Structure 1
Amino acid sequence: MKEIRIDSRAFSSVAERKATSQLVSRPETTALPVKERLYVRGDEFFIDLLRDINSATRQVELETYIFELDTVGRAFIAALGHAHRRGVRVRLLLDGVGLPLAGGSLLAALEEAGFPFRIFHPIPWFFRHWRHMAGGRAMPPRFTRLLTRLNNRNHRKVCSIDRRIAWIGSFNICALHLPVAHGGEEWRDTAVRIENVDTQRIERAFQRAWNPWRWRPMRRRASPPRSSFRLNDTRRHRRALVRDLLRRIGRSKRRIWITNGYFVPDERLLHALNRAAKQGVDVRIILPLVSDVFFMPWTSATFYGSLLDHGVKIYEYQPGVLHAKTIIIDDWMTVGSSNMNSRSLRHDLEVDYVVSQTDTKMALVSEFLRDLNHSQEILRAAYPNRPLWQRFLAHLILFAKYWI
């Protein structure tokens, strides 16, 4: 990864910092056109995101599932720490399961950097995590309450900068996404940078996850707000997003192209995809041949027979780990963190973005077709093509589908 130079100059006085804070807090008065850029390479994604953080003047809120203390993680800690020292409001939100085991070295590095960070639903028996628990130190940690929420994770990968730039996708903060030449494993991911967009909705979702234990009064139920950001941060929003996806699949006329890293559909989603293919829609799904969760390809393969019988085309990505999460339904397209499994549908916090610009849509279609060229189609005549013991284990794992 290219070296990112971080300006080390700090504010010389509290008065200067306060004056700058007042300057950058002025509301935007000019409506600028929305700009989007698609990212599929980890090195390009990290370099440009770090550049935005280094240029931030008002606020940086970064939310990620996995944060490793490697070359990428250290670069982000340095950039966030520098932004914090120059007066930018910086907040980092991590997930308890997404941290390295115990995470002692990472926590020490974050504490030394000095900017605020919290851990969403810490692992109950890692007591050191409790003092950084989302909700703040004022709320006494409760072992049993954390234990009951062990299955509810924050899987979002999102960064909001200066209330006008948003980064949405499936890249975690770790070197796995880098090219092999730069010390990574070249995971295949997709993200989008959106500029001149109202980030208020993702900021509210961040705040809710930052203080998940806070009591909130009951309010009159309202329809989920219309937005390009698809958030499942409440039960009502979660149900609405599932209904909307099923409705779009059911109304599709031309194509349904899906790229997904963890494909374990429920009955409704499986039926909707089969029905669309049977009605003549071009349904194609690209899934990983190799996954960071070793049993995931075996589990996904248990659905191949039903899908293939109804005309769905299935492809397995060959070059490496496929981790991207994108959906193309006719001309409606999304990029984000949501998988087609029980975790995303029922448990985890996710965020996806509905692409709006024609150039970005064309780029997303081109990347899907490029991935097809690096994938092998699964044919009905060659199915099942996995050893009996793998298929047997996969069916056993499906009994625990609620957890995966």
Structure 2
Amino acid sequence: MVEMSCTNPEIPQATPIAPVPAGPSQWQIFHYNETIWPAVLELCDGARTSLAIEQYIFAADIIGTRLMDVLTKAARRGVHVRLLVDAFGSAELARSPAGAAFRQAGGELVRYNPLSRLLRNPISGMHRLHRKSVIADGRRMMAGGACYSDRMADWRDTMVRIEGPIVPAALAAFETAWAYANGISARRSRSQSAEATCGAGHWNYLTSDPVRPARQQIYQALLSRLRDAETSIDLATPYLFPYRKIWSALTGARQRGVRVRLLLPAVSDHPAIDLVSQRFAAALARRGVEVHGYLPGMMHAKLAIIDDWSMVSSFNLDMLSIGLNVENGLATTSPAFRAVLADQYACDIATSRRF
């Protein structure tokens, strides 16, 4: 599979990964795990002082062990490496030989919200770390939707590599999650979002956290953009189980003449969830929303392109991401960034079937 970017959705063309613009913010978009994973390995291998990693699914398989080897080598050469994984999604990593070697080299591995907490508090025990981010030296980062598991090797996903003023905000959010996972009382800030004017567009680092003041930041930003949309809404999500307000915003946009498109996997990795997603998809289609099922394989990207605003995130359009998960997203009004996402989205639509 290759990185795709096409201006004509009828004629997909293989092109290099998105160019990196000059200016205070440099970014690069990756559209498939086949290129995302090597980019993550390269970012980690190039770290000189620190690595801060958040991940929901970090399997102890081939790709997981390969990445752990890179992290272990980094720790051995003196890099301060902290790995925060979800206790449910990455249950085997801490007990694996790769996890043990990482800790022996000086790396720090912490599990977020161990399942034992379910017994003490069933609600807070369900909170999951759903972010997927890598922050190197406090200056460079990758964020988006990709996990590390061999079964996902051929998945369609999206990650952004970015440098610039937005990165310290991501590190601050990591520090808060790290403190919580370690049982440290972190100072509650009013918001973990940050804004930075980077290059040609305005960038926001957004978080959602069920136990923080920024509880529904991504949800609120998305909802606001949907309600204010004037010309077009393009969304991608692997799982669809939206809150009523999201539903109303989508159908309301159609009623006022906005083109609304929604991209889902034709078949996801969770057949039971597909039953729910497809019912919502069919209902939205009856109300004028263009719903497309991605045919080449599993589509795991979480994207929003609304008028001149775009976002890549870990945030699914489902109840878990909205109400229970710790999430993050990179949002911008950069025309160049939007153009790259829109070209790839057109290619995805061209290889999908409409519901």
CA contact (8 A) 1:224 1:236 kept: no
Deviation at 1:297, TM superposition (A): 1.6
Match of 1:232 in 2: 208
| Residue in structure 2 matching 1:80, options 60, 71, 74 | 71
Match of 1:207 in 2: 175
Q: Which has the higher strand share?
A: 2
**Partner-residue secondary structure (3-state), 2:240:** coil
Match of 1:246 in 2: 223
1:335-390 superposed Cα distances (whole Å, 9 cap, x missing partner): 11000111111110001101454333211111111110111001xxxxxxxxxxxx
Read off the aligned partner of 1:93 and give its amino acid letter.
Answer: L
Separation in 2, partners of 1:322, 1:108: 33
TM-score in terms of structure 1 length = 0.74
Read off the aligned partner of 1:246 and give its amino acid letter.
Answer: L
Read off the aligned partner of 1:196 and give its amino acid letter.
Answer: G
Match of 2:351 in 1: 374
Separation in 1, partners of 2:240, 2:25: 32
Separation in 1, partners of 2:46, 2:281: 47
Separation in 1, partners of 2:332, 2:69: 31
Read off the aligned partner of 1:85 and give its amino acid letter.
Answer: R
Structure 2: state its 5+ residue gaps.
2-21, 197-203
CA contact (8 A) 1:154 1:348 kept: yes
**Partner-residue secondary structure (3-state), 1:303:** helix
Separation in 1, partners of 2:75, 2:261: 45
Worse-superposed segment, 73-82 or 368-377? 73-82
Match of 1:266 in 2: 243
Separation in 2, partners of 1:315, 1:362: 20
1:52-101 superposed Cα distances (whole Å, 9 cap, x missing partner): 21111121111100111222111211111111111111100110111245
Read off the aligned partner of 1:152 and give its amino acid letter.
Answer: H
Match of 2:108 in 1: 116
Match of 1:396 in 2: none
Separation in 2, partners of 1:69, 1:82: 17
Deviation at 1:306, TM superposition (A): 3.2
CA contact (8 A) 1:78 1:113 kept: no
- Structure-to-structure mapping, 1:207-356, within 5 angstroms: 207-212=175-180, 213-216=183-186, 225-226=194-195, 228-233=204-209, 235-356=212-333
1:17-52 superposed Cα distances (whole Å, 9 cap, x missing partner): xxxxxxxxxxxxxx9621111101212212122112
Q: Does 1:99 align with 2:81?
A: no
Deviation at 1:102, TM superposition (A): 8.4
Structure 1: state its 5+ residue gaps.
2-30, 125-141, 179-185, 379-404
Separation in 2, partners of 1:207, 1:151: 21
Match of 1:189 in 2: 157
Structure 2 CA distance for partners of 1:32 and 1:90, relative to 1, 3 Å? farther
TM-score in terms of structure 2 length = 0.84
- Structure-to-structure mapping, 1:19-168, within 5 angstroms: 33-100=24-91, 104-105=95-96, 107-124=99-116, 144-145=119-120, 147-168=122-143
Higher Rg of the two aligned structures: 1
Separation in 1, partners of 2:158, 2:165: 19
1:197-231 superposed Cα distances (whole Å, 9 cap, x missing partner): 44222112112211213335667x57954352111
**Partner-residue secondary structure (3-state), 1:191:** strand
Separation in 1, partners of 2:295, 2:281: 17
Separation in 1, partners of 2:104, 2:25: 37
Match of 1:172 in 2: 147
CA contact (8 A) 2:69 2:102 kept: no
Structure 2 CA distance for partners of 1:247 and 1:143, relative to 1, 3 Å? closer
Deviation at 1:145, TM superposition (A): 3.4
Equivalences, count: 324
Separation in 2, partners of 1:175, 1:257: 29
Worse-superposed segment, 205-214 or 327-336? 205-214
Q: Which has the higher helix share?
A: 1
Give percent identity, aligned residues only. 30
CA contact (8 A) 1:36 1:357 kept: no
Read off the aligned partner of 1:270 and give its amino acid letter.
Answer: W
CA contact (8 A) 1:171 1:190 kept: yes
